[in-house]
Structure 1
Amino acid sequence: MKILISEVIWTEGIEVLERQGHTVAYDQKWYANRKEFLAHLPDAEALIVRNQTQVDEELLNHAPNLKVIGRLGVGLDNIDLDETEKRGVAVISARNANAVSVAEYVMQAVLSFRRPLHEAHKGVAEGKWERRVHTGYEINGKTLGLIGLGEISHRTAKRAKAFGMNVIGYDPFRTEYDYMIDETGIVKKEWYDVLGESDFLSIHVPLNTATKHLIDRKAIGLMKPSACLINTARGGIVKETDLAEALQDRRLAGAFLDVLENEPIHPENPLLQAPHVTLTPHIAGLTEESQERISIMIAKEVNKELHGNASLCRV
């Protein structure tokens, strides 16, 4: 069976598919050359993508034999799920496969914000020895707020608790009796309480009509001026102009953003001129371990679907 892969995948995933006898056509830049990519779709039975390939009605019209779409990750905002359901195309995601990597990114952001060792190193390299300037703050006893209480929040909370942090969270779809809340010790609170009490606020929700610009001027206004915002979920959840303005006006102490509304970042994005913001190129879930795990997982689950066995990772 023919499988198209339009974005980067680790070789271990391709090897799994080829060992099963599939024909794999792979170009990690196909997402950027749509016309060429569409021409390869008519005889494809499976498609594997990341977040750049727009799986919309036009693409699906060019793929009449498509049976399954594998998403190398968990975000689904680039896939038209209504259209795939209408056509009977299964969609599977790499559920939980990069949760550890994202959780470690969040903790790295927390630690870096309180004690930016790279700045201390820079001073020493310049011949300075400014111990008082680089006196940081402990994270022990500080409060981490989580918006969205899924698997990534669960793993982040476990690590934060190990550092002695208080962990609170908001998720209207979970109760305090859900496993990850009850067992991890997350204190479930209302939206405005999480915003107001958090020293660090970490976002873990999907991008949809309800979460678009969820963190805007009003939400930021409820946060402590000393707080730090961390977004590893999706660009568009944070209203970037409002965040840049708050950082400029010192109504918020800092931010770590791994995702942006438009990626790569536009050179006129106001965040590039904002103080105390760290921007990374959508890498929170990108570690060698997670990407090998995701590539093998999606390859195996796509193979199951192609052989008529429903994947447990179906969306």
Structure 2
Amino acid sequence: MIDIIISENIQGAAVAALQSRFKVVTQPDLWKDPLLLAEKAKNCRALIVRNQTPVTASLIDASAELVVIGRAGVGLDNVDYKHAEQAGIVVSYTPDQNAISVAEIAIGMMLSLARYIPAADADTKKGNWNRQRFVGTELYGKTLGIVGAGKIGYLTARRATAFGMKILAYDPFLSQDNILLSEIQAELVELDDLLSRADVVSCHLPSTPQTVGLLNRERLFRMKPGALFINTSRGKVVVESGLLEALKAGIVGGVALDVREKEPPQIGKLEKLPNVVLLPHIAAFTHEAQDRVTSAICEDVARVLDGKPAVNAVRRTTPMPRVTS
């Protein structure tokens, strides 16, 4: 029997430690072949994935020996964790380990848009010296709107206060008495209020039935004219066609996206605009964050296989008897 299958590119000292104790099959491209994955997973006890492996109800049901799923990252939109819970399977993830890296890149995106850094760099490398063309805007004194004030949203806002930014926050799960919001003197407001007042909007929402398409054309057109929009969370929370319209209308002054509605995306109109910065979903990809993510998920998987509770379980912390029909 295989103890652990790793279906994506996850490596490092923590993986080597697992390999020294368990029978581990590592196939970085296995996620591309769902049928082969299902065949291999039939007799494995643990599955470790990133965000590309669809861990569906059918895959879970076909994996009769599975006791733990490790998601190396914070999002769970590719894992049917509710079905896994019903089947008695532990789902572990890494909710804190990459938060600093994502917050830092969000700040980098703000600076890139406000000071035209990518456009000025590209223009200068062509041999130009257009100083007057790239007159930017300071972040000091501006208002940052945080959409989703969880760990990453909080860390982004905290760093923005060092630039002298004022903070608005939207999060239906928090109250104004939240200690972290109080610490950064954030004003908790409704989403439409935030969009109309913020000079910079930074999105930090999970992908859920409630958030998919939340930032649509209607809402984006409520943004403060010329405001900057940043998304480092999940691409599906933003309707890109509406975002493009808001850009062309001048409602949105600049956009920076690390995530897209469809990944990888096809080249379209967003890719051709000078006031748009696009990255290939790399906000969490620093050496430090990936070391923390890999260590945490490998340790949790090992704990469950050893009969111990997972530290970062989504819900249950110990395997339950498998439920079969």
TM-score by length of 1: 0.95
- Structure 2 equivalent of residue 283 of structure 1: 282
More displaced stretch, 1-10 vs 65-74: 1-10
| Residues 239 and 30 of structure 1, relative CA distance in 2, 3 Å threshold | same
- 2:235 is matched by which residue type in structure 1? G
- Once the two structures are superposed, the pairs formed by residues 164-243 of structure 1 within 5 Å of their partners are 164-243=164-243
- Structure 2 equivalent of residue 16 of structure 1: 17
- 2:311 is matched by which residue type in structure 1? L
Structure 1 moving runs of 4+ over 6 Å: none
- Structure 2 equivalent of residue 153 of structure 1: 153
1:72 pairs with 2:58:
no
Deviation sequence 1:119-139 (CA, Å, 0-9, x none): 334444444333222222111
More displaced stretch, 279-288 vs 245-254: 245-254
- Structure 2 equivalent of residue 140 of structure 1: 140
- Structure 1 equivalent of residue 271 of structure 2: 272
CA contact (8 A) 2:256 2:276 kept: yes
CA contact (8 A) 2:167 2:184 kept: no
Separation in structure 1 between the aligned mates of residue 66 and residue 127 of structure 2, nearest angstrom: 62
- 1:75 is matched by which residue type in structure 2? G
Separation in structure 2 between the aligned mates of residue 303 and residue 280 of structure 1, nearest angstrom: 33
| Residues 84 and 125 of structure 1, relative CA distance in 2, 3 Å threshold | closer
More displaced stretch, 119-128 vs 240-249: 119-128
Q: Once the two structures are aligned, what percentage of the paired residues are identical? A: 37
- Structure 1 equivalent of residue 114 of structure 2: 114
Separation in structure 2 between the aligned mates of residue 178 and residue 121 of structure 1, nearest angstrom: 41
- Structure 2 equivalent of residue 7 of structure 1: 8
Q: Aligned with 1:160: secondary structure? A: helix
- Structure 1 equivalent of residue 255 of structure 2: 255
1:275 Cα offset (Å): 5.0
Unaligned runs of 5+ in 2: 315-325
Deviation sequence 1:63-114 (CA, Å, 0-9, x none): 1000000001010011112210110001011111000110011000100111
- Structure 1 equivalent of residue 317 of structure 2: none
Q: Aligned with 2:235: secondary structure? A: coil
RMSD: 1.5
CA contact (8 A) 1:6 1:53 kept: yes
Q: Aligned with 1:255: secondary structure? A: strand
CA contact (8 A) 1:228 1:252 kept: yes
CA contact (8 A) 2:119 2:274 kept: no
- Structure 2 equivalent of residue 306 of structure 1: 305
1:93 pairs with 2:93:
yes
CA contact (8 A) 2:101 2:284 kept: yes
Separation in structure 1 between the aligned mates of residue 272 and residue 172 of structure 2, nearest angstrom: 35
Alignment size in residue pairs: 313
1:168 Cα offset (Å): 1.0
1:10 Cα offset (Å): 2.5
- Structure 1 equivalent of residue 25 of structure 2: 25
Separation in structure 2 between the aligned mates of residue 174 and residue 157 of structure 1, nearest angstrom: 15
CA contact (8 A) 1:241 1:271 kept: no
1:141 Cα offset (Å): 0.5
| Residues 261 and 125 of structure 1, relative CA distance in 2, 3 Å threshold | closer
- Structure 1 equivalent of residue 60 of structure 2: 60
- 1:291 is matched by which residue type in structure 2? Q
1:274 Cα offset (Å): 4.5
Separation in structure 2 between the aligned mates of residue 135 and residue 54 of structure 1, nearest angstrom: 45
| Residues 277 and 127 of structure 1, relative CA distance in 2, 3 Å threshold | closer
Separation in structure 1 between the aligned mates of residue 231 and residue 181 of structure 2, nearest angstrom: 21
CA contact (8 A) 1:2 1:44 kept: yes
- 2:13 is matched by which residue type in structure 1? E
Separation in structure 1 between the aligned mates of residue 130 and residue 33 of structure 2, nearest angstrom: 51
1:301 Cα offset (Å): 0.9
